[in-house]
Amino acid sequence: MRAISSARFRLSRSTGFGIILFLLFTAPIAVHAASSPDLTIFFSSDTRGMIRRCGCTDGQLGGLSARASYIKSHRNNETLVLDAGDTFFDGLDDPKDRKAFYSLKASVLMKAMKISGYDAILPGEYDLEFGLGLLKNNARVAGDRLICANLYTASGPAFQGSMIKKIGRLTVGITGVIDDKFPYGTFPSIFKRFRVENSLEAARRQVRTLREKAGIVVLLAHLSVSDQKKFAAESGADVVIFGDDGGILKKPLRYGNTLVVKGFYEGKLIGRLDLWLGHGNKKIKSYKYKAVRLGEGIPPDPDVEELLAEYRQMLKKERFAFTDMTGLKGYFAGPDKCKKCHARSFHNWSSTKHARAFSALVKTGDQYDPECLPCHVTGYGYPTGYGDRAKGGRADLKNVTCENCHGAGGLHYNYERPGNYLDPYNVPPVHVKEKVCTGCHDDYRSPNFDFKKYEQMGGAHRGNNGP
């Protein structure tokens, strides 16, 4: 314990209030009084496909542009940038027919990480969702920065197990392991071609080998263990960066000579660890740690913005159609049909923000993004819902309309036609439940949502309802 505790550490502790202020406002990093650090590590993990903030509400964090911008403006020649896994996807259950879309998105994520100057990236289990091929292609995009010491295919190790980096006058060894306890068997279609070696054994072996050449050894560990400190200490590494754990540490965990930190979920923060070394640059003497919130105060990075502009162009060209939704009763009619019999509801709805929700996407050029459309149009993903006309969709069903809340009304509005009869099951529900709203007004996109308050704000019909 003694080995690492230091004046610098005490200094940052005594300014606890300063840290809180920093977390709130992302103030510029204070220049350390004594000397500049021997090594600075920027670290992230679990980006989980979060390319950018959606902008649905103010005060959102994250995005690859802010991350690149922060790293670029704070890095120097003694800097290492690392990621501890689960970069591309938010889980393992994305429909397989979306592979083309997710491949494009993954390549954007990788390019942005290259722009940000990442030295090494550990894949997580989720990154394997669409197979090793996609991951390898992206490894090439990023200039072979992927490492993993315990993932094997029939033909051998899937990635390089470790790397040695010259950082200024230091030699740093980097290795990484994924979780051998993950229930791979539950997803046989994804993992049947892989073998995962015991995480701790693989880590120890790599660390031992790296020690022969490197002064400081960093281990990336994408895994859940009950005792992170113990795992880290047993690995023998100097610094262990855990992924797959969204907890935000106020300060690193310490165990003997090992420092333990964690990445953050969805790229909302980035970690910074400054290290001062001793014993011929082979031991950590002291450190400073920061969890930096990537808020709106951080300017965008022009290179990542250019990449995002290209991404939007690609989405416009491809017009990805997510049409695998099922369970729709009837079909979508569109608000103009409802207007005929529900003139007052239509009139009231017309003056709400819902009636213009599509234009919010047009403003930023995001109107072709299949990850934005579901909440800003009607029936996206359903056979008769919003979509590219050439692919069988209806281009006129823009905005949040009657049928987002009341359900598809095609059969209902038809009932008066000759030969038709009023089917009571086809009358849309009058009562729109709160959970219909929170399907779109979720915690991330609408953190201030309150059903009663938002209804009064004119969420549905602004003032009086229908007939």
Helix (H) or strand (E) holding 81: strand 79-83
Decide: is 427 part of the binding site for ligand HEC (CB under 6 A): yes
Say how far apart CA 15 and CA 11 lie, in whole Å: 7
Nearest Cα residue to 165 out of 213, 203, 94: 213
Question: CA dist 157 to 140, 142, 260, Å?
Answer: 16, 19, 26
Decide: is 146 part of the binding site for ligand HEC (CB under 6 A): no
Tokens 């950082």 locate to 167
Kindly tell me which of 41 and 405 has the beta carbon lying closer to ligand HEC. Answer: 405
Binding mask 361-390 for ligand HEC (x = CB under 6 A): x--x-x--x-xx-xxx--------------
Residue nearest to ligand HEC (CB): 459
Binding range to ligand HEC, per CB under 6 A, among 91-99, 139-147, 155-163, 330-338: 330-338
What's the one-letter identity of residue 109? L
Candidates 342, 382, 384, 426: give the one binding ligand HEC (CB under 6 A): 342
Candidates 11, 29, 56, 132: give the one binding ligand HEC (CB under 6 A): 56
Tokens 């965990």 locate to 253
Decide: is 313 part of the binding site for ligand HEC (CB under 6 A): no
In terms of Cβ atoms closer than 10 Å to its own Cβ (0-12, 13-18, 19+), residue 201 is middle
b/e 51-71 (16+ beta carbons within 10 angstroms → b): bbbbbbeeebbbbbbbbbbbb
Decide: is 437 part of the binding site for ligand HEC (CB under 6 A): yes
Q: How many CB atoms lie within 10 A of CB 50?
A: 21
**Cβ 281 to ligand HEC shortest distance, Å:** 44
Say how far apart CA 452 and CA 152 lie, in whole Å: 54
**Cβ 25 to ligand HEC shortest distance, Å:** 23
Binding range to ligand HEC, per CB under 6 A, among 122-130, 160-168, 230-238, 351-359: 351-359
Decide: is 199 part of the binding site for ligand HEC (CB under 6 A): no
Q: How many CB atoms lie within 10 A of CB 310?
A: 12
Kindly tell me which of 281 and 384 has the beta carbon lying closer to ligand HEC. Answer: 384
**Cβ 404 to ligand HEC shortest distance, Å:** 4
Binding mask 58-97 for ligand HEC (x = CB under 6 A): ----------------------------------------
What's the one-letter identity of residue 281? N
Q: How many CB atoms lie within 10 A of CB 21?
A: 12
Candidates 80, 357, 368, 384: give the one binding ligand HEC (CB under 6 A): 357
Binding range to ligand HEC, per CB under 6 A, among 77-85, 230-238, 242-250, 434-442: 434-442
Say how far apart CA 382 and CA 371 lie, in whole Å: 15
Decide: is 454 part of the binding site for ligand HEC (CB under 6 A): yes
DSSP class of residue 206? H
Kindly tell me which of 388 and 434 has the beta carbon lying closer to ligand HEC. Answer: 434
Nearest Cα residue to 126 out of 112, 109, 144: 109
Q: How many CB atoms lie within 10 A of CB 41?
A: 27
Q: How many residues bind ligand HEC (CB under 6 A)?
A: 63
Binding site for ligand HEC (CB under 6 A): 54-57, 333, 335, 337-338, 340-342, 345-346, 349, 353-354, 356-357, 360-361, 364, 366, 369, 371-372, 374-376, 400-406, 409, 412-413, 416, 427-428, 430-432, 436-437, 439-442, 445-446, 448-449, 454-455, 457-461, 465-466
